[in-house]
Amino acid sequence: MRPKTLRWAVVGMILAALAMGGCAKKQVRQGGEETPRVTVTPEKPSTPPSTGKVVEKPQEAPPRPSEPPPGKTGAVEPAPEEPVKGAGLARETTAGLERIHFDFDKAVIRPDAQEILRKNAEFLQANPGVRIRIEGHCDERGTTEYNLALGERRAKAAFQYLMDLGVDPNRMTVVSYGEAVPLDPGHNEEAWAKNRRAEFVEVER
């Protein structure tokens, strides 16, 4: 073989070897590459991020209290603001009923008053259409506040006694006049004994 031809043959072999080496390296690099990672971006939360402010729920209005039922038993009527002194005779017990009296500073039903109340109960049961107001009274001794309270206790004692005898409590109310409406305007024991009493007055239905 000629030297020139041999030289070109060597050059050709070198080029071929280089070409083959490059392809092999490329194949190795391709074969050795890792599978690319897929980065998954998390979804945004459906609720908006907290701003740090506390949102209070509107409070419901509290339920309105129901109206209390009207009193049926022993309803206490208010005493007049300015009762007239000495006007007791204008508030005498209704015909067919009798007043009762009390001992000094007491609201206990006395034996004589028990008999009167039994007769009053018989009258009320025989006249079911009659409604009454039981009025408690005191003598002039003691403060106004004390006598108003004592008069109320006396009226309630009579009320309770009549109710125990079978009178419908819905037919009766009570009120206290204290010392303001004396039956006797005198200032002695005889007058005071008359004024410590309970009256039974018919009222409109």
Task: Give the range among 55-64, 110-119, 171-180 with minimum mean pLDDT.
Answer: 55-64
Q: How far apart are CA 184 and CA 89, in angstroms?
A: 9
Q: What is the pLDDT of residues 69-82, one digit of tens each?
A: 334 445 656 554 44
Q: What is the pLDDT of residues 87-113, one digit of tens each?
A: 444 456 678 899 999 999 999 999 999
Residue 40: pLDDT band (50, 70, 90) is very low
Q: Is 35 helix (H, G, I), strand (E, B) or coil?
A: coil
- Quickly count: other Cβ atoms within 10 Å of residue 38's Cβ: 5
Q: Is 95 helix (H, G, I), strand (E, B) or coil?
A: coil
- Is a pLDDT exceeding 70 seen at residue 19? no
> First-to-last CA distance in the chain?
153
pTM listed for this prediction: 0.59
The pLDDT assigned to 75 comes to: 61
Q: How far apart are CA 155 and CA 173, in angstroms?
A: 9
Q: How far apart are CA 134 and CA 116, in angstroms?
A: 14
Residue 177 DSSP class: E
Q: How far apart are CA 143 and CA 180, in angstroms?
A: 11
* pLDDT more than 70, % of the chain: 56
Which residue ranges form the domains of the chain, and what is each CATH number?
Answer: 86-203 (3.30.1330.60)
Mean pLDDT, range 143-155, rounded to an integer: 97
